[in-house]
């Protein structure tokens, strides 16, 4: 079954055109055949009426009454029209040289008659004493009718392929806006919720595009509201958490009991972790709501330096558990490029860094890799993900639409070009 609208229209229009052409050719052939019969019948009648007076004069001048006379053949040829002249008793008085009496039935009155092989016309004179019958083979008429039918049907073999090609081109041209609409949808990723242009779409498809744009608008509004809620919630948590930390620090400074001071320190560490979590939540909300791509490439070395400095401070705190850390930044001649927003990259990296900071075998580093030709590879970002909070597990864990960076280079993914390679593990 054809699923393409273009194929369906082409096949349907082609079949319709073929049927209409066949019907028109059949009706024309029938009409032409009727006209041919009328012309040939008129020729039979005129032939009989012209031959009969000559035959009567010849018969009356003869002395051998009742004897059959056959006209002599001047040139050898096949007669399409033959005739017999008979008297009232049915005796043949005169006949053409190719006339076969077996093809002429008994007299049954003036007018047209038809047998299985011939078309006949009867005419009489002298009060019915002399009668002429003119005959024409039906195969002659049938051959002419077949020639007409072939002449009408033969152009189908040439015209139909040309017509189908013209239909296909016309349908393809008409559906070009629909194909462009489809290609625009196919090129979009899951983050692009902008409205689709529908100016050039056919009127039959425009309502579908309008409905799709309405859906995209509602989805964008829902996601924006969700991100705003997360950002606002994280922002609103800052003040009470800061106040709670200040109160705990004051309690720690004013009390002299060892147990109370220890509990105050534990509470302060917990509140600071909550503050850090709210800060990361705020950053991730901003990263999710940021622009996905820039219009041109940007140098990521400043971002890498900022992340390395931030990373170094974290690793000092978790030196015993986090293991070794190394940072090798690209040199002046090797620039790591990206088309992603820098703030989005920093937010996602920091979030995953904090999530994995407690693992003993976790190593964070940026390294530069050059190919043998002196070039490198281009770093394309894969930061359009959210990473699960908490410890990295031994298996790949999904949370939302992303993975923890411990098990794959999720922050920057290299693709083959002649630029340097940046990876985060």
- Report how far apart, in Å, the C-alpha atoms of 132 and of each of 52, 129, 144 are: 6, 10, 26
Does residue 182 form part of some domain? Answer: no
Residue where one domain finishes, among candidates 289, 305, 335 = 289
- Report how far apart, in Å, the C-alpha atoms of 202 and of each of 16, 169, 217 are: 23, 17, 22
pTM of the model: 0.45
pLDDT at 288: 63
Q: How many domains does the chain have?
A: 3
pLDDT: which is higher, 338 or 64: 64
Same domain, 134 and 25: yes
Same domain, 205 and 349: no
pLDDT at 312: 72
Q: For residue 258, what are the domain limits?
A: 191-289
Does residue 174 form part of some domain? Answer: no
Average pLDDT over residues 2-16: 80
pLDDT at 340: 45
Same domain, 238 and 316: no
Query: Confidence band (pLDDT; 50, 70, 90) for 134?
Result: very high
Query: Confidence band (pLDDT; 50, 70, 90) for 404?
Result: very low
Residues 87, 128: Cα–Cα separation, whole Å: 8
pLDDT at 57 over 70: yes
pLDDT at 87: 85
pLDDT at 197: 82
pLDDT: which is higher, 334 or 234: 234
Same domain, 60 and 78: yes
Query: Confidence band (pLDDT; 50, 70, 90) for 122?
Result: very high
* Highest mean pLDDT, choosing among 3-17, 386-400, 406-420: 3-17
pLDDT at 60: 78
Tell me if 368 sits within 8 A of 422, measured CB to CB.
yes
C-alpha 234, offset from chain centre: 46
Same domain, 217 and 351: no
pLDDT at 121: 92
Share of the chain above pLDDT 70, in %: 65
- Report how far apart, in Å, the C-alpha atoms of 266 and of each of 51, 252, 260, 271, 391 are: 137, 10, 10, 9, 20
Query: Confidence band (pLDDT; 50, 70, 90) for 72?
Result: low
Q: Which run of H or of E encompasses 342?
A: helix 342-356
For 148-164, write each residue's pLDDT tens digit: 888 888 888 888 888 88
pLDDT at 403 over 70: no
pLDDT: which is higher, 138 or 324: 138
Tell me if 124 sits within 8 A of 131, measured CB to CB.
yes
Tell me if 292 sits within 8 A of 191, measured CB to CB.
yes
Same domain, 69 and 100: yes
Does residue 186 form part of some domain? Answer: no
Does residue 98 form part of some domain? Answer: yes
pLDDT: which is higher, 203 or 364: 203
Same domain, 283 and 296: no
Same domain, 39 and 159: yes
Q: Whole-angstrom distance between the N-terminal and C-terminal Cα of the chain?
A: 50
Tell me if 295 sits within 8 A of 254, measured CB to CB.
no
Residues 96, 134: Cα–Cα separation, whole Å: 10
pLDDT at 116 over 80: yes
Residue where one domain finishes, among candidates 231, 259, 289 = 289
Instruction: Tell me the three state secondary structure of residue 162.
Output: helix
Tell me if 406 sits within 8 A of 362, measured CB to CB.
yes
Residues 124, 130: Cα–Cα separation, whole Å: 6
Same domain, 39 and 160: yes
Provide the β-strand partners of residue 13. none
pLDDT at 291 over 50: no
Residues 234, 230: Cα–Cα separation, whole Å: 6
Does residue 424 form part of some domain? Answer: no
Does residue 131 form part of some domain? Answer: yes
Same domain, 220 and 276: yes
Residues 317, 308: Cα–Cα separation, whole Å: 14
Residue where one domain finishes, among candidates 236, 263, 289 = 289
Query: Confidence band (pLDDT; 50, 70, 90) for 415?
Result: very low
pLDDT at 240: 86
Q: Can you give the CATH number for the domain in which 276 is found? A: 1.10.287
Same domain, 18 and 40: yes
> Which residue has tokens 């009991």?
257
Mean pLDDT rounded to a whole number for the chain: 71
Does residue 211 form part of some domain? Answer: yes
Residues 105, 96: Cα–Cα separation, whole Å: 16
pLDDT: which is higher, 314 or 160: 160
- Give the Cβ contact number of residue 424 at 10 Å: 24
Same domain, 325 and 263: no
pLDDT at 7: 80
pLDDT: which is higher, 72 or 398: 72
Residues 292, 184: Cα–Cα separation, whole Å: 17
Does residue 225 form part of some domain? Answer: yes
pLDDT at 274: 85
Query: Confidence band (pLDDT; 50, 70, 90) for 380?
Result: very low
For 337-352, write each residue's pLDDT tens digit: 444 444 444 555 555 5
């Amino acid at each position: 079954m054809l699923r393409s609208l273009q194929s369906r229209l082409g096949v349907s229009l082609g079949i319709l055109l073929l049927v209409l052409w066949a019907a028109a050719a059949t009706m024309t052939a029938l009409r032409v055949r009727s006209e041919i019969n009328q012309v040939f019948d008129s020729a039979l009648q005129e032939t009989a009426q012209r031959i009969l007076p000559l035959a009567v004069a010849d018969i009356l001048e003869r002395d051998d009454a009742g004897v059959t006379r056959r006209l002599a053949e001047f040139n050898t040829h096949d007669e399409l029209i033959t005739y017999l002249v008979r008297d009232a008793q049915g005796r043949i008085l005169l006949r053409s040289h190719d006339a076969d009496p077996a093809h002429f039935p008994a007299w049954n009155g003036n007018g047209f008659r038809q047998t299985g092989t011939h078309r006949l016309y009867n005419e009489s004179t002298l009060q019915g004493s002399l009668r002429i019958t003119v005959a024409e083979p039906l195969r002659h008429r049938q051959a002419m009718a077949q020639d007409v039918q072939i002449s009408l049907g033969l152009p189908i073999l040439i015209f139909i392929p040309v017509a189908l090609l013209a239909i296909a081109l016309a349908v393809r041209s008409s559906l070009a806006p629909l194909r462009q609409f489809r290609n625009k949808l196919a090129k979009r990723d899951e983050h692009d919720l902008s409205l689709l242009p529908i100016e050039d779409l056919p009127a039959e498809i425009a309502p579908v595009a309008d409905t799709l744009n309405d859906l995209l608008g509602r989805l964008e509004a829902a996601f924006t509201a969700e991100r705003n809620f997360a950002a606002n919630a994280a922002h609103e948590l800052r003040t009470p958490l800061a106040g709670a930390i200040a109160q705990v620090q004051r309690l720690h400074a004013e009390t002299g009991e060892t147990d109370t001071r220890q509990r105050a320190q534990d509470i302060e560490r917990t509140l600071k972790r909550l503050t850090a979590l709210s800060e990361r939540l705020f950053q991730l909300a901003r990263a999710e709501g940021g622009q996905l791509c820039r219009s041109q490439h940007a140098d990521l070395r400043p971002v890498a330096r900022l992340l390395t400095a931030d990373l170094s401070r974290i690793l000092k705190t978790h030196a015993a558990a986090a293991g070794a850390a190394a940072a090798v930044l690209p040199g002046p001649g090797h620039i790591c490029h990206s088309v992603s927003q820098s703030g989005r990259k920093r937010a996602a990296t920091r979030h995953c860094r904090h999530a994995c900071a407690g693992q003993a075998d976790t190593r964070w580093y940026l390294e530069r890799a050059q190919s043998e030709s002196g070039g490198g590879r281009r770093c394309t970002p894969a930061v359009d993900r959210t990473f699960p909070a908490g410890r990295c597990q031994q298996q790949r864990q999904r949370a939302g639409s992303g993975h923890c960076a411990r098990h794959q280079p999720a922050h920057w993914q290299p693709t083959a070009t002649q630029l340097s390679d940046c990876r985060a593990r």
